[in-house]
């Protein structure tokens, strides 16, 4: 707006004001159009993104899925290493034509016709309540059993069980009889201390158990005893039995040790006696040989001077029979005193 100072009257310039107003209005209109375009674009993007979910679905690596059309199972999506789905497809005739897809990732579907239900492909852990069992030697124990299973046919699983809680209740009815049957065949010592034998025995029951649970679309991978406790009524008798067994083992060990000791002493005595006998025999032989040699030497020597030999033998006889305290009463002509007589 401007004023005419020459006429001393303040007159607004309405044309300029109008032009500015029009420009502001045009700018506001343009901004509104741009904002509307942005909003429409965002809405279109949201609609497109929202509608994509009607055309595709994703199955993660830790999931299995059931694909239905008009509530009828058309396919199941399982792990790549799944080896049980084919045989489980034959459990019920309505699943014989169900397609088995061993892959994960992005899949397409028909909106409003195809529906997808997903379950976990991870191992599911089942744990029983404490139950009492008897071993082969009639010892009673309170045990808690655990098992790990996986969903290998999600169609069978969802149609027959539907939830993990129902699956665990079903496992209660199936695992317990198998475990009890196997533990009943074990002695208490093997059950308590031989974990390798216990594990091998329980694994023998896996085939039987999996044959029973196949119709539910699950496969048991492992089962074992989680915790073992003695009922209070059995603690004293078990303690006495274990004490008696340990005493028997100790007694047997002592008896075996004593037997080994006696055998060792007898063997040593025998070797000592043999050694002494051999030594005596050798010494006597040596002495005999030496005496023979000495006699031969004496014989050779004395045969050269018989008189000297007689003199030497008399000296030896004197040496053996006479000492400083010896008193002998003999006739002076006795031959023994021959060399004492002087002329």
8 A C-beta contact, residue 116 and residue 65? yes
Q: At what angle do helices 306-321 and 232-302 cross, to 10 degrees?
A: 140
Task: Please name the residue that has the structure tokens 């309405």.
Answer: 14
Q: What percent of the chain has pLDDT over 70?
A: 84
Give the model's pLDDT for residue 60: 93
C-alpha 155/C-alpha 136 separation (Å) is 41
Task: Please name the residue that has the structure tokens 């158990």.
Answer: 209
Low-confidence ranges of the chain (pLDDT < 50): 1-8
Task: Please name the residue that has the structure tokens 């674009």.
Answer: 41
Q: What's the first-to-final CA gap in the chain, in angstroms?
A: 197
Q: Domain 124-234 maps to which CATH number in 3.30.479.30, 3.40.50.20, 3.90.45.10, 3.20.20.70?
A: 3.30.479.30
Q: Is the pTM of this model over 0.75?
A: no
Give the model's pLDDT for residue 121: 92
Give the model's pLDDT for residue 74: 92
Phi-psi region of 2 (alpha: psi -120 to 50; beta: other; left: phi over 0): beta
8 A C-beta contact, residue 154 and residue 119? yes
C-alpha 309/C-alpha 306 separation (Å) is 5
Give the model's pLDDT for residue 158: 92
Give the model's pLDDT for residue 100: 93
Phi-psi region of 162 (alpha: psi -120 to 50; beta: other; left: phi over 0): left
Helices (H), the chain: 14-52, 85-89, 154-160, 164-183, 188-193, 195-204, 206-213, 232-302, 306-321
Kindly compute the dihedral angle of the four CA atoms of residues 148, 152, 158, 161, in this order, to the nearest 10 degrees. -40
Give the model's pLDDT for residue 151: 93
């Amino acid at each position: 707006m401007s004023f005419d100072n020459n006429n001393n009257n303040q007159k607004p310039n309405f044309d300029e004001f109008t032009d500015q107003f029009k420009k502001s209005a045009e700018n506001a209109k343009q901004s509104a159009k741009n904002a509307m375009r942005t909003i429409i674009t965002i809405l279109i993007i949201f609609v497109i993104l929202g509608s994509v979910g009607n055309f595709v679905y994703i199955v993660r690596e830790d999931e299995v899925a059931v694909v239905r059309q008009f509530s009828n199972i058309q396919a199941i999506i399982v792990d790549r290493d799944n080896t049980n789905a084919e045989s489980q497809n034959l459990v019920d005739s309505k699943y014989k034509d169900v397609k088995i897809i061993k892959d994960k990732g992005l899949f397409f579907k028909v909106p409003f016709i195809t529906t997808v239900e997903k379950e976990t492909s991870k191992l599911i852990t089942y744990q029983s309540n404490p139950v009492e069992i008897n071993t082969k030697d009639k010892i009673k124990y309170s045990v808690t059993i655990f098992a790990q299973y996986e969903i290998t046919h999600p169609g069978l699983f969802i149609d027959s069980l539907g939830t993990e809680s129902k699956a665990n209740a079903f496992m209660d009815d199936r695992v317990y009889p198998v475990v009890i049957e196997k533990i009943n065949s074990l002695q208490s010592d093997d059950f308590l201390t031989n974990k390798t034998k216990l594990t091998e025995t329980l694994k023998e029951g896996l085939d039987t158990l999996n044959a029973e649970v196949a119709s539910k679309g699950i496969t048991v991978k492992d089962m074992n005893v989680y915790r073992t406790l003695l009922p209070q009524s059995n603690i004293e008798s078990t303690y006495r039995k274990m004490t008696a067994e340990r005493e028997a083992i100790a007694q047997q060990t002592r008896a075996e040790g004593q037997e080994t000791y006696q055998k060792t002493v007898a063997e040593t005595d025998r070797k000592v006696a043999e050694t002494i006998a051999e030594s005596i025999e050798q010494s006597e032989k040596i002495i005999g040989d030496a005496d023979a040699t000495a006699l031969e030497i004496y014989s050779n020597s004395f045969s050269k001077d018989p008189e000297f030999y007689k003199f030497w033998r008399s000296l030896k006889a004197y040496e053996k029979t006479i000492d400083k305290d010896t008193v002998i009463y003999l006739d002076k002509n006795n031959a023994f005193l021959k060399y004492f007589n002087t002329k």
